[in-house]
């Protein structure tokens, strides 16, 4: 893989004017071309426009550190929107820079451009007038919402009109039980026009696969219809990072929606951590519990213990728990009248760059995610 160079920034932030930004971009590329020999010619690459929504300059700096890994797989024009509507003084400024990869011998140096827009106070309402003209004509537009709850303001409507795909991360939701329900409501409004991906849902992909594999054999598939209890244990985390709490809810929503369970209306909406939720399956009742716990042994980013119990004439227990470091899972099967079977399975642990790249590539609607999210909304809001 080519080495990513430090971003090249042109000047200080200046008032955001689309024509001026385009002139500055042209000047940036001319200066970079002039500064390289013919042997190391600069290639300006762009396959899409990536819009990034953040709420602080610190978050914008973090994004700038990730962009190099993103453009290596998805060359694009990046527009980072730092939105601070509570600032006292209104202002809308722009700063441009270029991200490049050091080429291998005989290859051209590939570079992509980044525009940082800092919108403060009432000036945030003019953001779409700058962002929309800066999207590259004829190419897809992906909006990465790298903030807390997904609650887009009214002035984002113009930006959504040009957006082809929305990427969120429910790991950043401060109150997953509430915020996933809000996302479900927004998804209903947007999904007909804008497909939505959740990076936190992608983090769970290995776990959903392992659960499905528990019931792949002919001798275990019948137990899916006989599940009576599910327990999902997740690691208690800081209020600013609720990845596993959101994952536990999405996992419950996934199981219920895939297996045709209906929330028991005699049960109260699930709001408190650790509260059980009751479902009605084709065979009877199912009690599902999500339990926060402290976890020793390392590893982050995924639920770490899932136990599924089947009743009926021959009870069975299927369990998955995260191993030390989070790099593998221990899978155990206990069928009545047979010795337990236990094994380990390697887990893929994705970093943020890998997740975003996957989100960009997965441009279509994910019906399974949408159904799981809708089920979460039903059990958390009633």
306-330 pLDDT, tens digit each: 999 998 778 999 999 988 777 889 9
Based on the fold, state whether residues 106 and 207 are members of the same structural domain.
no
Out of 22-36, 66-80, 116-130, which region has the weakest mean confidence (pLDDT)? 22-36
| CATH number reported for the structural domain that contains residue 310 in this entry | 3.30.360.10
Task: Render pLDDT for 116-143 as a digit per residue (tens, 0 to 9).
Answer: 999 999 999 999 999 999 999 999 999 9
Specify if 175 maps to a domain. Answer: no
What backbone torsions phi and psi does residue 35 show, to the nearest 5 degrees?
A: -85, 0
Which pLDDT score, from 0 to 100, does residue 299 have?
52
pLDDT band at residue 1 under the 50/70/90 scheme: very low
Closest Cα to residue 52, out of 116, 6, 121? 116
Is residue 41 predicted with pLDDT exceeding 70? no
User: Same domain for 156 and 268?
Assistant: no
Q: Which of 163, 182, 217 is at the close of a domain?
A: 163
Please say if the pLDDT value at position 5 is more than 80: no
- Is 115 among the domain residues? yes
Do residues 122 and 215 both lie within one domain? no
* 88 and 232 part of one domain: no
For the segment 356-360, the average pLDDT, to the nearest whole number, is 93
Give the residue from 142, 163, 184 where a domain finishes.
163
Residue 180 lies in a domain: no
Q: What is residue 39's predicted lDDT score, i.e. its pLDDT?
A: 45
Which run of H or of E encompasses 362?
A: none
Do 219 and 343 sit in the same domain of this protein? yes
pLDDT the model gives residue 11: 63
Higher-scoring residue by pLDDT: 245, 100: 245
> Is 252 a residue whose pLDDT tops 60?
yes
The verdict on 226 and 143 lying in the same domain is no
Query: How does strand 165-168 pair with strand 341-346?
Result: unpaired
Least-confidence region, from 97-111, 117-131, 362-376: 97-111
- The yes-or-no verdict on residue 279 having pLDDT over 50 is yes
Lowest-pLDDT range of 25-34, 144-153, 194-203? 25-34
pLDDT above 70 (res 379): yes
Residue 22 has pLDDT above 60, yes or no: yes
Cβ contact 2:72 at 8 Å: yes
Domain extent for 225: 203-381
Residue 191 is assigned to a structural domain of this protein: no
In a domain, residue 174? The reply is no
- The answer to whether residues 134 and 272 belong to one domain is no
Residue 142 CA to residue 70 CA, distance in Å, equals 13
Question: In whole angstroms, what is the distance from residue 250 CA to residue 214 CA?
Answer: 19
Predicted pLDDT at 197: 92
Q: Are 71 and 139 in a shared domain? A: yes
Per the domain annotation, does 197 fall within a domain?
A: no
- Would residue 282 count as lying in a domain? yes
Question: Buried b vs exposed e over 171-209: b needs ≥16 C-beta within 10 Å?
Answer: bbbebbbebbbbbbebbeebbeebbbbbbbbbbbebbbe
Please count the structural domains in the chain: 2
Please report the pLDDT score of residue 304 as a whole number.
Answer: 74
Regarding whether 114 and 242 lie in a shared domain, the answer is no
On whether residue 198 sits in a domain, the answer given is no
Do 79 and 208 fall within a single domain?
no
Residues 80 and 228 in one domain: no
At 274 the pLDDT is 55
Pair (240, 357) in one structural domain: yes
Residue 382 has pLDDT above 80, yes or no: no
Per the CB < 8 A criterion, the answer to whether 312 and 328 are in contact is no
Q: How far apart are CA 225 and CA 121, in angstroms?
A: 55
Render pLDDT for 259-268 as a digit per residue (tens, 0 to 9): 999 998 655 5
């Amino acid at each position: 893989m080519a080495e990513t160079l430090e971003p090249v920034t042109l000047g200080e932030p200046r008032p955001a004017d689309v024509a001026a930004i385009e002139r500055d971009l042209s000047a940036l590329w001319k200066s970079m071309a002039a500064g390289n020999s013919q042997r190391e010619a600069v290639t300006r690459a762009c396959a899409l426009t990536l819009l990034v929504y953040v709420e602080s300059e610190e978050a914008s700096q973090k994004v700038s550190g990730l962009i190099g890994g993103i453009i290596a797989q998805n060359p694009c024009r990046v527009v980072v929107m730092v939105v601070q509507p509570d600032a006292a003084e209104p202002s809308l400024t722009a700063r441009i820079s270029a991200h490049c990869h050091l080429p291998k011998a005989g290859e051209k140096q590939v570079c992509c451009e980044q525009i940082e827009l800092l919108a403060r106070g009432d000036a945030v309402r003019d953001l779409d007038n700058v962002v929309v003209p800066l999207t590259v004509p004829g190419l897809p537009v992906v909006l990465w919402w790298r903030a807390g709850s997904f609650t887009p303001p009214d002035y984002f409507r113009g930006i959504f009109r040009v957006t082809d795909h929305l990427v969120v991360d429910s790991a950043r939701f401060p109150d997953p039980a509430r915020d996933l329900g809000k996302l479900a409501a927004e998804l209903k409004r947007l999904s007909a026009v804008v497909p939505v991906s959740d990076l936190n849902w992608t983090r769970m992909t290995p776990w959903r696969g392992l659960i499905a594999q528990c019931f792949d054999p002919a001798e275990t598939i019948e137990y899916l219809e006989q599940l009576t209890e599910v327990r999902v244990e997740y690691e208690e985390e800081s209020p600013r990072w609720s990845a596993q709490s959101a994952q536990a809810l999405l996992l419950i929503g996934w199981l219920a929606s895939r297996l045709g369970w209906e929330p028991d209306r005699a049960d109260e909406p699930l709001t408190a951590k650790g509260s059980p939720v009751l479902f009605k399956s084709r065979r009877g009742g199912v009690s599902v519990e999500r339990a926060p716990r402290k976890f020793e042994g390392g590893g982050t980013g995924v639920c770490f213990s899932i136990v599924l119990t089947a009743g009926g004439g021959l009870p069975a227990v299927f369990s998955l728990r995260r191993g030390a470091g989070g790099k593998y899972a221990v899978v155990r099967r206990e069928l009545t009248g047979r010795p337990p079977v236990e094994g380990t399975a390697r887990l893929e642990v994705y970093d943020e760059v890998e997740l975003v790249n996957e989100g960009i590539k997965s441009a279509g609607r994910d019906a399974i995610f949408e159904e799981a999210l809708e089920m979460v909304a039903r059990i958390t809001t009633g």
